[in-house]
Chain A
Amino acid sequence: MKTIQFREAIAEAMSEEMRRDDSIYLMGEEVAEYNGAYKASKGMLDEFGPERVLDTPISELGFAGVGVGSAMIGNRPIIEFMTFNFSLVGIDQIINNAAKMRQMSGGQFNIPIVFRGPTASAGQLAATHSQAFESWFANTPGLKVVVPSNPKDAKGLLKSAIRDDDPVIFMESEQMYGDKGEVPEGEYTIPLGVAEIGREGSDVTIVSFGKIIKEAYAAAEDLDKEGISCEVIDLRTVRPMDSEAILKSVKKTNRLVILEEAWPFGNVATEITYQVQQHAFDYLDAPIVKINTADTPAPYSPTLLEEWLPNKEDVIKAVHKVLYK
């Protein structure tokens, strides 16, 4: 094993795949000469040249569409959004073209493309720069949605996403790029659609994904001192979701808390809640609790932001609630 930063894991995944397959290119704002807005493509221009690592103008609609068009006839593009907040001006190309092309053409054109970049909040960036659209994309048939929470998963999942023959939304975080973690030395991939039990436990299941899962791990540490054993499931892929892993854990612990950084109405946690009540109703010893951001746009002021974002204390409170403590 070796210890690398999350941003290095992203760059390694892209570089290894680009060495393996000439049809892959990286395109986006600041990805080439600037080495990435968050240095997640450091050194790639030097290695692969300007034909395969391309800086773009600030034209998300334009370059997302160029990516999809090129994927129709042989390319396997990686399209970087500086953040997924900016994907909104290009979302027509993702939802109407990337996701639907195969279906609309009766199976003639699959679109092997990865749209990647950071998601959700990253400090006091306020309303337009703190949004989590995982559930938006996950709502759309034709897409796959991957949200890693550590360098090992980021590298293995991104390599699988690039090799996948369907369009993949790959969501990172500005606040994770500096995170360090152990990754295997050699070649490895992690399959899409498979959750990981990040911490084994027996009293309660906590399901989460992405950077906010750190709050679940921190809560589990504290709760352990109280004698409460938490099982933390890292979804890693939101669509398709590893429902089996969740159900198996809930059938063991009989209690479920879901932590998701997203607005509360109709999000990923809502879907998990539906599936668990449908398929494990008799196993539940308490109503499911979900923890999300406030049902408001993200505020700027630090005290309000602290209230808006879910945190470790919220998780502890929720675990106490499902345990009737």
Chain B
Amino acid sequence: MKKITKETYLQWYEDMLFWRKFEDKLAAVYIQQKVRGFLHLYNGQEAVLAGSLHAMDLEKDRMITAYRNHVQPIGMGVDPKKVMAELFGKVTGTSKGMGGSMHIFSKEHRFYGGHGIVGGQIPLGAGLAFADKYFKRDAVTLCYMGDGAVRQGSLHEAFNLAMLWQLPVVFICENNGYAMGTSVARTSHSTEIWKLGLGYEMPCGPVDGMDPVTVAEEVHKAVDRARKGGGPTFLEMKTYRYRGHSMSDAQHYRTKEEVEEYKKIDPITQVLDVIKDKRYATDGEIAAIDKRVKEMVKECEEFAENSDFPPIEQLYDVVYEQEDYPFLPHKL
């Protein structure tokens, strides 16, 4: 694995802070009704992404996840302005405004969605890895899911196939404790999600998902194994989300105290503490990062605001590869 250096910490701090503020901005514009539909925010889970990105080869590895998916493509290199524009439904968005919050894609940056059906992306992740093995490419796919998704049959079918064919894929469950408003304990006899790998003899284990260093180390072991032909791994990231499942979630299922407890181990705070302890940056330098992040988020909002909505023809243009597909009329 690449060494974790001063630069890594500073990068992590800036990235994670940007993701957090980006999501906070989305929450704000959602209330202003500039962003509609469902909105699932990543706040609290940032260490999982930061650690994973450090462990990946960003020149070739792939990422796919569910609908809590705004900041992962940014981590993979997508221009955050385009992500913001997608949520505003603008033609400059990552999917030209066709996908919205739950469906962010970037072919260029090897980010394969952005999927709205719980667990539906898990076989797709195995499929990406299947293609890489088929074509003897050297890439590894990181396939993410929430704790709710692991009770879908799709996980079990994909696990079996991935082990059977020894596919280069790392399955990562981001266990934030709640599937919408239902805790893991209320829907599962066994609450140790990582143990689901055992039934398939898949290497698996729990990981502290609030610490990017631990995440990076464990993901790197898994990516390395996959790249060397050792097949899939299943990691359970123990993490937490501060905000509701989506913006319409009143969060009656948990206490404020519980949320406060987790904020004590906030991934951004943890990284900032290291930066301060090791004097990786002065207070002035940290303030400069904070300022830069704030400006970048503002730029994203302005770009999204000032972009155009898509032309009506686009409704038809993106459905089929066939250019002259004869759509039926839907009204006079």
Q: Are A67 and B127 in contact (CB under 8 A)?
A: yes
Interface assignment of A56: CB less than 8 Å from any CB of chain B? yes
Residues of chain B within 8 A (CB-CB) of A164 are 322
Give the contacts of B130-184 with A (CB-CB under 8 A): 130-132, 134-135, 153-154, 157-158, 160-161, 164
Instruction: Give the size of the chain A interface in residues (CB under 8 angstroms).
Output: 44
Interface assignment of A263: CB less than 8 Å from any CB of chain B? no
Type the 1/0 row for A20-38, where 1 means its CB is closer than 8 Å to any CB of B: 0001010000000000000
Q: Evaluate whether A66 and B326 lie within 8 angstroms (CB atoms) in the complex, with A93-B123, A104-B105, A109-B105 already known.
A: no
Q: Are B99 and A107 in contact (CB under 8 A)?
A: no
A74 touches which of B98, B126, B131 (Cβ 8 Å) = B131
Q: Are A193 and B99 in contact (CB under 8 A)?
A: no
Interface assignment of B232: CB less than 8 Å from any CB of chain A? no
Q: Are B120 and A92 in contact (CB under 8 A)?
A: yes
Residues of chain A within 8 A (CB-CB) of B122 are 65
B123 touches which of A65, A106, A109 (Cβ 8 Å) = A65
Give the contacts of A138-169 with B (CB-CB under 8 A): 141-142, 164-166
Interface assignment of B317: CB less than 8 Å from any CB of chain A? yes
Interface assignment of A75: CB less than 8 Å from any CB of chain B? yes
Give Cα A72 to B122, complex, Å.
Answer: 14
Give Cα A142 to B321, complex, Å.
Answer: 9
Residues of chain A within 8 A (CB-CB) of B126 are 62, 65-66, 69
Q: Evaluate whether A68 and B157 lie within 8 angstroms (CB atoms) in the complex, with A93-B120, A102-B319, A166-B320 already known.
A: no
Q: Are B127 and A65 in contact (CB under 8 A)?
A: yes
Give Cα A56 to B126, complex, Å.
Answer: 14
Q: Are B161 and A103 in contact (CB under 8 A)?
A: no
Interface assignment of A177: CB less than 8 Å from any CB of chain B? no
Residues of chain B within 8 A (CB-CB) of A73 are 62, 128, 131-132
Give Cα A110 to B103, complex, Å.
Answer: 15
Q: Evaluate whether A105 and B128 lie within 8 angstroms (CB atoms) in the complex, with A61-B153, A141-B319 already known.
A: no
Instruction: Give the size of the chain B interface in residues (CB under 8 angstroms).
Output: 49
A57 touches which of B116, B135, B164, B327 (Cβ 8 Å) = B164
Give Cα A63 to B158, complex, Å.
Answer: 8
Q: Are B134 and A69 in contact (CB under 8 A)?
A: no
Residues of chain A within 8 A (CB-CB) of B106 are 108
Q: Are B130 and A105 in contact (CB under 8 A)?
A: no
Most buried by B among A75, A101, A107, A164: A107
Q: Are B322 and A166 in contact (CB under 8 A)?
A: yes
Residues of chain A within 8 A (CB-CB) of B117 are 92, 96
Chain B nearest CB: distance from A117 CB in Å? 18
B322 touches which of A25, A72, A165 (Cβ 8 Å) = A165
A-B contacts besides A65-B158, A69-B130, A106-B318, 8 pairs, CB < 8 Å: A59-B160, A69-B112, A69-B124, A69-B126, A69-B127, A97-B115, A106-B94, A165-B322
**Chain A residues near B (Cβ < 8 Å):** 23, 25, 51, 56-57, 59, 61-75, 89, 92-93, 96-97, 101-110, 112, 141-142, 164-166, 193, 240
Q: List 9 A-B contacts (CB under 8 A).
A: A57-B157, A62-B123, A63-B123, A69-B124, A71-B127, A73-B131, A107-B318, A108-B106, A141-B319
**Chain B residues near A (Cβ < 8 Å):** 62, 64, 93-99, 103, 105-107, 112-117, 120, 122-132, 134-135, 153-154, 157-158, 160-161, 164, 317-322, 325-327
